[in-house]
Amino acid sequence: MTPEKLREYFMKGVVHIVQLTPFKENEDVDYEALKENTSFLVEKRSYGPMVLTPVGSTGEKYALTDEEWKKVVKTVVDTANGKIPVVPGASHSGTRVAIERAKYAQDVGADGVMVVLPYYHVPEEEGLYLHYKKICDAIKIGVVPYNNPDVSKIYMKPHVLKRLVENTNNIVAVKENTPYIPTLYEQIKTVGDKVPILQGRGDWWFAATAFLGVRGFISGYANFMPEFSIDLLKAGLNGDYGKLKILMEKLYPLEEFIGKLSKKYGPSTSILPYPYVGSYMMFGVMKAAMDILGLKGGHMRLPLMDINRDDRRELEKILFEKLELKKIK
């Protein structure tokens, strides 16, 4: 898919599914499980517009070796087989390494790459601009900047994003993770007419900010309940706020459960202030949900942790009784 077509696809509204990486009990990557999970999502493509992103933050890309990263990307691209766009995470704190990853994704047939802000050392604004400009110039597929201060310590302000969009031709969307609604609105007003801004903080945040003009959202929940996320997308894009309220009330028990576990397994080691993310127990919850429903969530890879058996039993009740989900297999 050309960057122009991918941008148009995003602009119409899309659920961008960040795929979890299934690990075996010994923490090896379970590639067969990854194929099964990908095939499940590909089969759901007729229900609504979706994009797959393996090896992003939710996919624990930081915990993968270079060879594992490559194999996960190729496995998802090959399994999707052109039936659904694949935009893998190709991030790195170093520009040259990020370019190498982006080129690999292009070579194996990905439709684009998602690139989180460079992390570890903090660049100046010019260095941040050049990081993305050089990645865009090095490849012919689409690029989705992932503006996520939770994991990077930095933030791309609207004037930098505007400059980047004006001086490249393959920015196809922006995954925007600010927890501040006025800042999100400023990004949309600055570049939203040229490239779609996606709500990067998930289903709940999309419901809360759909009226601002976001063109979709990134979802981890869609790994195991894509219909729910697509229903949410359609309600938000159509301005059906009554339907949004019903869906969010249905989702609340799961959100509440994740919040409870974040405290139970704490304390958090984060020094970031609220409302930045202080716990990632949500990943373990999502993997457990996949296993419960018949998919292949698998295990977390350290330093993140699985949830215990008692919590899995409580999660099972939420999935079947509150969200009214059914076994997939």
Please state, in angstroms and rounded to a whole number, the distance separating the CA atoms of residues 52 and 81.
Answer: 12
pLDDT band at 275 (very low <50, low <70, confident <90, very high): confident
Q: What is the pLDDT of residue 179?
A: 94
pLDDT band at 280 (very low <50, low <70, confident <90, very high): very high
Nearest CA to 48 out of 193, 192, 225, 204 is that of 225
For residues 2-13, give the mean pLDDT. 97
Nearest CA to 147 out of 119, 116, 188 is that of 116
Q: Is the predicted pLDDT of residue 200 greater than 90, yes or no?
A: yes
Q: Two tokens at 148?
A: 């996520």
Query: 158 pairs with which residues across the strands?
Result: none
**SS3 annotation, 265-283:** CCCCCCCCCCCCCCCCHHH
Cβ neighbours, 10 Å, residue 298 = 24
Q: What is the pLDDT of residue 160?
A: 97
State how far the alpha carbon of 299 is from the alpha carbons of 90, 283, 290, 291, 304, in Å. Answer: 23, 10, 11, 10, 10
Residue 241: active-site member: no
Q: What tens digit of pLDDT does each residue of 148-180 get?
A: 999 999 999 999 999 999 999 999 999 999 999
Residue 146: active-site member: yes
Among 175, 221, 280, 287, the one annotated catalytic: 175
pTM (2 d.p.) = 0.96
Q: What tens digit of pLDDT does each residue of 73-110 get?
A: 999 999 999 999 999 999 999 999 999 999 999 999 99
Query: 176 pairs with which residues across the strands?
Result: 147, 199
Among 9, 104, 146, 280, the one annotated catalytic: 146
Q: What tens digit of pLDDT does each residue of 220-268 get?
A: 999 999 999 999 999 999 999 999 999 999 999 999 999 999 999 999 9
pLDDT band at 287 (very low <50, low <70, confident <90, very high): very high
Nearest CA to 220 out of 172, 164, 168, 281 is that of 281
Q: What is the pLDDT of residue 319?
A: 98
Please state, in angstroms and rounded to a whole number, the distance separating the CA atoms of residues 309 and 176.
Answer: 35
Mean of pLDDT over the chain: 96
Q: Is the predicted pLDDT of residue 329 greater than 80, yes or no?
A: no
- Residue 59: what are its φ and ψ, rounded to 5°? -85, 10
What domains are defined for the chain? 3-238 (3.20.20.70)
For residues 260-280, give the mean pLDDT. 92
Q: What tens digit of pLDDT does each residue of 190-199 get?
A: 999 999 999 9
